[in-house]
Amino acid sequence: MLDEETFQFINRLVSRVRNERVFEFVTEEWKKNKSKYKRRWDTPARRIFGNVLREVFRQSFPSVDHKTSVYVEGEGTPPSWARPYKLFGSTGVYPDLGVLKPRKIAIELDHSERGSGLKMALAKASFNVLSGDWECCFVLFYNENGKLSLDGEKETEIRNIYEEQFNTRIFLFSKEPQTPHLG
């Protein structure tokens, strides 16, 4: 179960991502510079979302040092995080983003035009919590074509299992329709 402080933090983060259309910005950056990122969407996503996460973290937890508390995959491991153990042949569980204090919060980022991408993001999220390395996980998923839904009967059942058993919340983002400029 999420405490009020964590709930407010993630709501601030989600609101900021929605209001600033961060997923669309990441996708535009990636499409413009695919060769720079070796065709990997997650490289610019982690960098851009990492900056947003640090800003929201500083606003939400002003007395906690963000340099030792915020983790962004690919930017090195903060000294306050003990290296994880071996798990199914790999070294621990590394989410895209993480908060180490005041709670261990994993954040998975992903995107897709199909539901298979969301299923993979959920699988990674469950390992974050099941490993014991993270207390809760948030999946921020960009639905590129707007056709995915979390509201069907089976999706609602699965989402409830994730929330209750894996302390994981799913946030689905879609491209905002563009309002034509009439001038």
Structure tokens at 5: 């402080």
Strand 86-87 and strand 90-91: the pairing is: antiparallel
The DSSP letter of residue 176 is P
The tens digit of pLDDT for each residue in 132-152 reads 888 999 999 998 877 777 888
- Domain residue ranges in the chain: 4-174
**Whether residue 102 has a cis bond before it, omega within 30° of 0:** yes
The tens digit of pLDDT for each residue in 22-32 reads 999 999 998 88
At residue 135, the pLDDT reads 92
Buried/exposed code over 118-137 (b: 16+ C-beta within 10 A; e: otherwise): beebbebbbbbbeeebbbbb
Task: Band the pLDDT of 176: cuts 50, 70, 90.
Answer: low
Mean pLDDT over the full length of the chain: 86
The tens digit of pLDDT for each residue in 45-95 reads 999 999 999 999 999 999 998 888 999 998 877 666 666 677 777 776 789
The DSSP letter of residue 77 is -
